[in-house]
Amino acid sequence: MVLDTCVLLWWTLEPDRLSTEAARLCGEIPRTGAMISTISLWEIGIKSKRGLLDIGMDWRRYFDLVAELEGLTIVPVTDRIWRENLDLAWDHADPADRTIVATARLYDDILVTADRKILEFYPEGRWEA
């Protein structure tokens, strides 16, 4: 499964915000595995640096903590993912959202998110957080 940025943040910093199902799925990550896109880390870093997101620590420390999570794979944004991003028949300008959806589609995996726009666009294989 692929975690959207909000789910990554909630799972690691505010687990009470997750739905029951999303909490169950995240709890299984050490055993079953999950992926995040590097664009999620970029999004967190940018928002943290600009004072738009308080993660309670320096973004570098948060990145290190995420990298140490058992079962979590950090997937780089490759040319294949950029191509899938550009091929999406989706009138949505947010590059992070588009890239996360493209990643889930390329890996043919579920996407765990609370983002309504993503939920409406990517109904196959997704869970609401």
Mean per-residue pLDDT, 112-118: 92
Mean per-residue pLDDT, 91-103: 95
Domains and CATH numbers, the chain: 2-128 (3.40.50.1010)
Mean per-residue pLDDT, 104-108: 94
Picking from 124, 11, 7, 108, the residue whose alpha carbon sits closest to that of residue 69 is 11
Picking from 29, 40, 33, 32, the residue whose alpha carbon sits closest to that of residue 6 is 40
Q: At what angle do helices 79-87 and 95-106 cross, to 10 degrees?
A: 110
Mean per-residue pLDDT over the chain, rounded: 95
Which two structure tokens, joined as six digits, stand for 25?
């799925």
Q: What pLDDT is stored for residue 125 in this prediction?
A: 67
Mean per-residue pLDDT, 16-31: 95
Q: Any residues with CB less than 8 A from the CB of 72 and at least 6 apart, and which?
A: 29, 33, 34, 35, 36, 66
Q: What pLDDT is stored for residue 27 in this prediction?
A: 96
Amino acid of residue 125: G
